[in-house]
Structure 1
């Protein structure tokens, strides 16, 4: 069961997906619910969403075939990314895992959804795609401890985070620039309520390149757990409903025009994007 956004004649529509029954407009499941997926996250708790979908009549669902999924939403308050959070990935970059989380921000202009192209910038000769577990915040979160951190998370999603590694290699201070080209943050299409996922530590994240697993690892082997990342960064800044926290990659794949990048997290979903030239 998950929350998503589909294209319709009337624009983007937030939907509830039940794999056994199909897809239903959220407003048919929860009368009076907001008209946007961001609004649903802001106003409908994930447990309320799950309960409503389970109790909804079969008549409001239709077959999933033919549904065109978009990015769940395009304008979160912020996108917060984490670097070097798996020891093995840090070794790929001849880096050590930092003593505190390494983080960066991305603008909402970077957002794309499933099947939208990732464009390779003309000024870069080495772009990588990084599969990650994304956290979708559901409540205002500031100054929380690790034990209560996940109470503020609405759900999780698959993410592809892109980087111009050649630009970053010139100077680590170029991190923000290397992460902020258009199309450099794909997420969705599913936002799975936290209660539907089970322990996050048990999840396995895979970076795919042209349909083949390039690198995979378990969340349990992160240097900093998802709950630690939420708590740590909430001491710096508030998180707002709909904010995205991308928790780090098990491995980055070098992508070129004509390739297809992907992220697979069993129990959460699959995300795939074609790669195009400048």
Structure 2
């Protein structure tokens, strides 16, 4: 049985967790099981907690990972909830791949791609908010803010929002294809990514509360008071990576006094671990050559001592 998704940075992930030989391993974003299968094959004494809010992906992976079923506990939920629903006592590794899977992008009825006949973009199809609702019901000001905050489209955010408002006043926007035609495929000066892709990214982040979920995951991990555990987070755009980078820096700091303080008064014992990736891990040229979607992947790793 083949997975429809190529896991990014697979060899790098295996290298990071090569010394995690036993205990529990949490895959926060199981997807189509690529990372988890490789880890289970490499570590015979490792038990997997497999979490995903996409029921279609979860059901696929139950079959894909069937040979390891006695070592897996499947959880259908958002990764923002997972730490409060499992025991963390024996947790030795955590992986969170925050990207959209290839199947989600390619499958027409999921409405993620520019050429889809649908306009959905929900990772969890039980959620009520879809891209169709955002595009057809949000105010001009709300759409403009989304494009600024999540698409880095400040110079053209107002224009894009107005285009959508005008188009939907004539006819409801029901497909990604229609939205693609409305937005157009030009590029901002100095940017290599087409406007349409940035608009779709912004809508996807809004629909799935991606940044909020990431922040809540990191907060729940911090509160879990983990010991002897590695955390690897793979992100795919700068907003996510910035959250991860800044959180890891804060976790590593011994002193949390105000920078204007003349001397330390906090005791300098607030660090909960160590950043293992002083330089972010990116895909190799070889990987990008056979999986172009890995070109944006960035992995950062933290160790809770």
What TM-score range do you get, normalising by the shorter chain? under 0.3
Which has the larger share of helix?
Answer: 2
Greater relative contact order structure (CA < 8 Å, 6+ sep): 1
Which has the larger share of strand?
Answer: 1
TM-score, L = length of structure 2: 0.23
- Over alpha carbons, which structure has the higher Rg? 2
TM-score, L = length of structure 1: 0.25
